A and B are shown apart, each in its own frame.
Chain A
Amino acid sequence: MIPRFWLPIVLLTLAMQGVTAQEAENEQATTNQGRLSGNLQLNGNFFMRDSLIGAYDIPQYDRQLFGADSWLNLNYQNWGFDMGLRFDMFNNSNLLNPTGTFTGIGIGRWYVSKKIHKLGITGGYIYDIIGSGIIFRAYEERPLAIDQALYGMKVSYDLTDNWKVKGFTGRQKQQFSTYNSVIRGAAVDGFIGIDSSRVTLAPGFGAVARTLDDGSMNNLVATLNTYRKVDVIEMFPDTLNGEGPSYNTYAFSFYNTLTAGPFVWYMEAAGKTKDVIYDPFGQRTTASGDTVVGRYINKAGSVIYTSLSYAKKGLGLTVEGKRTENFDFRTRPQEEGVRGLMHYIPPMTRVNTYRLLARYAANTQFVGEQAFQVDASYALNRKLTLSANFSNITNLDGDKLYRELFTEVYYKYKRKWTLTTGVQLQDYNLEVYFGKPEAAPAKTITPYFDFMYKFNPKTSIRFESQYMSMSEDHGIKSDYGSWVFGLVEFTLAPHWAITVSDMYNIDPGKESPVDFQTGEKQEIHYPRFDVFYTHKANRFSLSYVKQVEGVVCSGGICRLEPAFSGVKMSVNSTF
């Protein structure tokens, strides 16, 4: 491990020798030479066992009691070079596996980049995207411990002022190591402006290939060799003539953004050659005669995604549509959940922020979904804005997976107070998203309000409340049943903010914890108390949290998170 990082560390150390942040700032100002910048994110969790809500039986609650995650990022620019180093630390962390523990410390990222006339060169851990990310996205999403950086080389070339081409190859990062499959890709991106009109085009074409490593292929073949011959022939019809799983899988994508006055139209069409992927809902009969759910399939994939936006005079309108079929693209097919993903398919639902409104999130279904979304916002005047959003997701057979209707009214009275209120209706397929067999969909109605009152320009108080009414399944409320949530936030700008909130399981459901003495479902409170302190570029927080299990999403990627009970603290700083 050490030799790999030796060179960049030495380079960066030499480059930064004797240059502190303050010195660099001064030097920058006077000589316009090197510039050192960076940021720190530090999270600490004190775990407090609470068997009632399911916060137990993981090492942090049982014996470790404390866990921390931290990222210290340093960037340095000088002599036409751009270089960076990130120190990552996970101490008894539950971020990577919410029910497990991970400890690892080291260089999480380094890179060196240089532009030589029209040629750009980058080596190290690279973040990049092709189109909207459908065929390739190397990115980081810290709340879910996603770090899909590509460890390798990238070159780019400016063909003209408006046309650029890039190519890259490497392996995907896996915490402080890398996966063994090799990834390569290229893209051409352009911009066409038509002088006489307000119409512009930004077309592009990208292609990515993944070569599976021998170890992963051997494991795949060993697994497929346990399948019945009939299933193998279904996957590889020409198996007698040597057809088998492909080492090399290719994905291609055409995309374009058309801008015409107030209209912006994005479209992307992507295809993927035959690849062995895991279908979590596919059925097969085992060699022993059991029928099981979940199997590998060998199919080509496709995604079509489009988005049309219109914005003018207080009116904003966006219509989006997407169709996905067999487009799970991973560095190795054995990886599950958010691990090993090489790409990112844009979600087709609203990103909700209020606690109860965000409780049921529809994560992308790679094997098959078709979806559309309409989002509208209209400002009647400076005081009043109306918004609505409707999204609908089905599988490829038309079976409903998710539907949401969201409305919002925003009213601002002078600079004294604001009110945001509305209602959300959801229809959420628990069978698909939570894997609950024969569960009726969770149908929720959630009215909400958010009222903020300013005593003076520095002092304000905010009240937030939501009530989620849950539908029934065989005479009992689905999932955790109905909830009520309340929050009070007091802000003393620019330094202090204090919030107190409670999420209360007012009408417990099927999954709510049971009182072992009475056998009754328990109506449990999940309180939270936060203190935030901000001083210039530094932000500190201290929170007591009791949190129910649920789906946590970040940037359109979701995963199931267990309950949390304990104290959280964080420090964020930029310099």
Chain B
Amino acid sequence: MKKYILLFASVLFFLTACEEIPPKVTGSMGGGGGNTPNPVEDQKRQVIIEEFTGVRCVQCPAGAAFIQDLLAIHGEQLIAVSIHAGDFTNPYSGSQYDFRTPEGTQLLSYLDQPFGFPSAVVNRKLFPGQFDLQLGQGDWAGYIASEKEVAPKVRINIEPDFNLGTRKLNADVTLYMDEAIASSDVRLSIMITENNIKDWQITPASSTPQPDYNHRHVLRGMLTAYDGDPVTGTLSAGAEIKKTFSYNLPAGWKEENCEIVAIVSLNGASKEVLQAHQVHLIK
């Protein structure tokens, strides 16, 4: 009997061992990053979260609200793009807008299909231990925080010029290479997002959609291919690469609520984003 008691005790010891020291949880500390953009010379790492969502996705408002909290924490160092693609995106009969875009649908395919919605991709990076690029809500905050600490290899400057009369947008985008990039396939993507669009969205509060839900940073279109345009030229440290893009802003997009988002990313086995940057369409 004694040996069984000894055995039982050793089993318990094996399992419980000693008391641990848990990590400290503080709760929300509020805006840490500040929203005033730094001049390009002092540009910090700017992380992009591409959230996949849909007007018929009942859990997605929780994801969108969570992103608002993250934006409050990280300030200008976090850029959010909400991509309406995949299941749950068919507009309702009362919807004023169809948020689906061809580029959004292509991005969904390019950046892996989510296991469930909402889902997001942080810096298009495959993090260690993750199955694919798509991340559930529980992983967004941690990976954003760790990505924010990585110094950018490239800084981005965007100079928009929007003609209110013709609704023509010209954007000069300059890349300042701080480090040489070894990859032979580097891409530059330019997106236009729109904030504060009031339209229908299903929420957990009701079986009928909320008609005035505030849709934020919705991907409206792209000035490049969905996976970006190839960046040609020397990608050595100190190099500057300048590109100019033009776009006719469709009627119905409120230019005062629009942002231009630039993403420099790799293409191929790794699609990792090296830097992102965002400016208001109208300065």
- Do chains A and B stick together as partners? yes
Binding site for B on A (CB under 8 A): 54, 57-59, 62, 96-97, 99-101, 159, 165, 167, 174-175, 177, 179-180, 184-186, 188, 207-209, 213, 215-233, 235-236, 239, 242-248, 250, 278, 286-288, 290, 292-294, 296, 333-337, 339, 435-439, 562
Cβ B113 vs Cβ A100 within 8 A? yes
- In chain B, positions 53-102 with a C-beta closer than 8 Å to chain A are 58-59, 61-62, 65-66, 68-70, 72-73, 86-87
Cβ B128 vs Cβ A215 within 8 A? yes
Chain A residues closer than 8 Å to B24, beta-carbon distance: 221, 239, 242, 244
Cβ A219 vs Cβ B142 within 8 A? yes
Closest A-chain residue to B128, C-beta based? A215
Contact of B105 among A57, A186, A219 (CB under 8 A): A57
Measured CB to CB, the closest approach of chain B to A329, in angstroms, equals 14
Q: A219-B143, A222-B142, A290-B61 are in contact. List 11 more A-B contacts (CB 8 A).
A: A100-B114, A186-B14, A188-B8, A215-B142, A223-B139, A224-B27, A286-B65, A287-B30, A288-B65, A437-B204, A437-B205
Cβ A99 vs Cβ B136 within 8 A? no
Chain B 139-153, CB-CB to A under 8 Å as 1, else 0, gives 111111110000000
Contact of B109 with A by CB under 8 A: yes
Measured CB to CB, the closest approach of chain A to B17, in angstroms, equals 8
Most central of A213, A245, A294 by chain B CB within 10 Å: A294
Contact of A229 among B27, B144, B206 (CB under 8 A): B27
Closest B-chain residue to A163, C-beta based? B4
Contact of B11 with A by CB under 8 A: yes
Chain A residues closer than 8 Å to B14, beta-carbon distance: 167, 184, 186
Closest B-chain residue to A293, C-beta based? B204
Closest B-chain residue to A225, C-beta based? B26
Measured CB to CB, the closest approach of chain A to B85, in angstroms, equals 8
Chain B residues closer than 8 Å to A186, beta-carbon distance: 11, 14-15
Instruction: Give the distance in Å from the alpha carbon of A20 to the alpha carbon of B12 in the complex.
Output: 47
Instruction: Give the distance in Å from the alpha carbon of A175 to the alpha carbon of B115 in the complex.
Output: 15
Cβ A437 vs Cβ B65 within 8 A? no
Cβ B25 vs Cβ A224 within 8 A? yes
A-B contact pairs, 18 of them (CB 8 A): A97-B115, A180-B128, A184-B15, A185-B15, A186-B11, A208-B15, A223-B140, A224-B27, A225-B28, A226-B69, A229-B26, A242-B24, A245-B23, A247-B22, A287-B69, A290-B61, A437-B204, A437-B207
Contact of A222 among B7, B8, B145, B207 (CB under 8 A): B145
Measured CB to CB, the closest approach of chain A to B134, in angstroms, equals 8
Cβ B25 vs Cβ A239 within 8 A? yes
Cβ A287 vs Cβ B87 within 8 A? no
Closest B-chain residue to A510, C-beta based? B207
Contact of B211 with A by CB under 8 A: no
Cβ A334 vs Cβ B11 within 8 A? no
Contact of B29 with A by CB under 8 A: yes
Chain B residues closer than 8 Å to A96, beta-carbon distance: 131
Chain B residues closer than 8 Å to A229, beta-carbon distance: 26-28
Contact of B116 with A by CB under 8 A: yes
Most central of A59, A167, A215, A233 by chain B CB within 10 Å: A215
Measured CB to CB, the closest approach of chain A to B89, in angstroms, equals 9
Measured CB to CB, the closest approach of chain B to A88, in angstroms, equals 15
Instruction: Give the distance in Å from the alpha carbon of A100 to the alpha carbon of B139 in the complex.
Output: 19
Chain B residues closer than 8 Å to A245, beta-carbon distance: 22-23, 25
**Count of chain A to chain B residue pairs whose CB atoms are closer than 8 Å in the complex:** 189
Cβ B115 vs Cβ A100 within 8 A? yes
Cβ A242 vs Cβ B21 within 8 A? yes
Chain A residues closer than 8 Å to B127, beta-carbon distance: 215
Cβ B16 vs Cβ A209 within 8 A? yes
Closest A-chain residue to B119, C-beta based? A336
Instruction: Give the distance in Å from the alpha carbon of A201 to the alpha carbon of B131 in the complex.
Output: 44
Instruction: Give the distance in Å from the alpha carbon of A96 to the alpha carbon of B86 in the complex.
Output: 17
Chain A residues closer than 8 Å to B72, beta-carbon distance: 287-288
Contact of B43 with A by CB under 8 A: no
Measured CB to CB, the closest approach of chain B to A294, in angstroms, equals 5
Cβ A217 vs Cβ B23 within 8 A? yes
Chain B residues closer than 8 Å to A184, beta-carbon distance: 14-15
Instruction: Give the distance in Å from the alpha carbon of A215 to the alpha carbon of B145 in the complex.
Output: 12
Instruction: Give the distance in Å from the alpha carbon of A439 to the alpha carbon of B202 in the complex.
Output: 13
Chain B residues closer than 8 Å to A174, beta-carbon distance: 129, 131
- In chain B, positions 201-221 with a C-beta closer than 8 Å to chain A are 202-207
Contact of B25 among A100, A165, A207, A225 (CB under 8 A): A225
- In chain B, positions 125-174 with a C-beta closer than 8 Å to chain A are 127-129, 131-132, 136-146
- 10 A-B pairs closest in CB distance: A219-B142, A100-B113, A334-B138, A244-B22, A438-B207, A229-B27, A292-B62, A232-B27, A290-B65, A222-B141
Measured CB to CB, the closest approach of chain B to A360, in angstroms, equals 19
Instruction: Give the distance in Å from the alpha carbon of A243 to the alpha carbon of B137 in the complex.
Output: 24
Cβ B116 vs Cβ A337 within 8 A? yes
Measured CB to CB, the closest approach of chain A to B208, in angstroms, equals 8
Contact of B42 with A by CB under 8 A: no
Closest A-chain residue to B134, C-beta based? A100
Instruction: Give the distance in Å from the alpha carbon of A15 to the alpha carbon of B249 in the complex.
Output: 69
Chain B residues closer than 8 Å to A230, beta-carbon distance: 27
Chain B residues closer than 8 Å to A207, beta-carbon distance: 11-12, 15
Contact of B179 with A by CB under 8 A: no
Measured CB to CB, the closest approach of chain A to B159, in angstroms, equals 31
Closest B-chain residue to A206, C-beta based? B11
Cβ B128 vs Cβ A250 within 8 A? no
Instruction: Give the distance in Å from the alpha carbon of A215 to the alpha carbon of B62 in the complex.
Output: 24
Chain B residues closer than 8 Å to A165, beta-carbon distance: 7, 11
Chain B residues closer than 8 Å to A293, beta-carbon distance: 59, 62, 204
Chain B residues closer than 8 Å to A100, beta-carbon distance: 112-115, 132
